[in-house]
Amino acid sequence: MHKDLLFRLVRKDFLASYQQTILGPIWIFLQPLLITLTYIAVFKSIIGIPTGNSPSPLFYLLGIIIWNYFSDSILNISYTYTAYASVFNKVYFARIIVPVSYLLVNLIRLGIQFILFLLLFFFFLIRDANVAPNWYILLVPVCLLLISGISLGAGLIFASLTAKYRDIQNLLSFLLRILMFISPVIYPLAIVPEKFKTLFLINPLTLLIEFSRYGFLGSGYHDLLYLVYSTVFTIAVLATGIVLFNRRDGRIMDVI
């Protein structure tokens, strides 16, 4: 029964977001492509941020799709109570279904975008550009799993807080913007001065993005010890999120 509802909500989100559009789901491809082009133009050509040896389209695209997955998931999940207030007020079902459905929607989007990335990746691989996939590629799914865990956990924390005080919503979009600049989305960790590196690595996203890049492109930070740290971090955030969300579950209906 819960499974049906979960997939129904996922389906609803997909259908609803492409109603009355001409290109429909093609936007899933188009959006990261356009952003990649913009980033190449602005950050590479104008500002001149070095992307190491890797081809810049692959460098940016991978960073962008992972970052978008993370940030969209958190934002969507944090809106759980606001978006579903009218439903939660009338019908009871396990509330956690809604955040999980949001995560799934974004995961599917990520999957589709990954196909785009892989196409581009093979294109560069055949042309023998500076692309050096290695066995770390097998850890990419693990990285994505950890990112999913962090998004869900943090999303749940913010959803619980936002339900009562809407300010948190503004705070969140602000925080996400800052976080993007201190994560290696538009630049490689390699250009960060050595003394700040540890500081950057406290942010688990840094490692997870760098790790994925290393697996595909052969350049990027890849210390397995930090993967352990990221795992511990993820579990902590997820546990906090679930506890907060469930604790709030009962009383929250009176304040949303």
Partner 1 sequence: MSQTVITAENIWKQYRLGTINSNTFKEELNRWWQTTVLRKGDIQSVSQGIGDEDNIHSKTFWALQNINFEVNKGEVLGIIGKNGAGKSTLLKILSRVTKPTKGSIRGQGRVASLLEVGTGFHEELSGMENIFLNGNILGMTNREIREKLDQIIEFSGVEKFIDTPVKRYSSGMYVRLAFAVAAHLEPEILIVDEVLAVGDAEFQKRCLGKMNDISKRDGCTVVFVSHNMQAIQSLCTKAILIKEGAISSQGNPSQVISSYIRQSRSYNFVKSWDTENEAPGNEYIRVDKIEIKPELENDQSIIDIRTPLHISFSFSSFSDINLCVGVHLFTISGDCIFDVCSLPQQYAVGVYKGECTIPGHFLNDGAYYISLIFVKDTSIQLFYLEECLSFEVEDFRENFAWFGKWMGHVRPAFPVNISTIKLL
**Distance of closest approach, residue 244 Cβ to partner 1, in angstroms:** 14
Nearer to partner 1, 199 or 255 (CB): 255
Nearer to partner 1, 11 or 177 (CB): 11
Nearer to partner 1, 7 or 174 (CB): 7
**Distance of closest approach, residue 230 Cβ to partner 1, in angstroms:** 30
Nearer to partner 1, 90 or 195 (CB): 90
Nearer to partner 1, 165 or 196 (CB): 165
**Distance of closest approach, residue 168 Cβ to partner 1, in angstroms:** 11
Q: What angle do CA 205, 176, 47 make, to 5 degrees?
A: 80
**Distance of closest approach, residue 178 Cβ to partner 1, in angstroms:** 23
Nearer to partner 1, 101 or 113 (CB): 101
Task: Give the footprint of partner 1 on this chain (CB under 8 A).
Answer: 1, 4-5, 8-9, 11-12, 15-16, 19-20, 86-93, 164-165, 250-251, 253-255
- Three-class SS string for the chain? CHHHHHHHHHHHHHHHHCCCCCCHHHHHHHHHHHHHHHHHHHHHHHHCCCCCCCCHHHHHHHHHHHHHHHHHHHHHHHCHHHHCHHHHCCCCCCCCHHHHHHHHHHHHHHHHHHHHHHHHHHHHHHCCCCCCCCHHHHHHHHHHHHHHHHHHHHHHHHHHHHHHCCHHHHHHHHHHHHHHHCCCCCCCHHHCCHHHHHHHHHCHHHHHHHHHHHHHHCCCCCCHHHHHHHHHHHHHHHHHHHHHHHHHHCHHHHCC
**Distance of closest approach, residue 127 Cβ to partner 1, in angstroms:** 43
**Distance of closest approach, residue 98 Cβ to partner 1, in angstroms:** 11
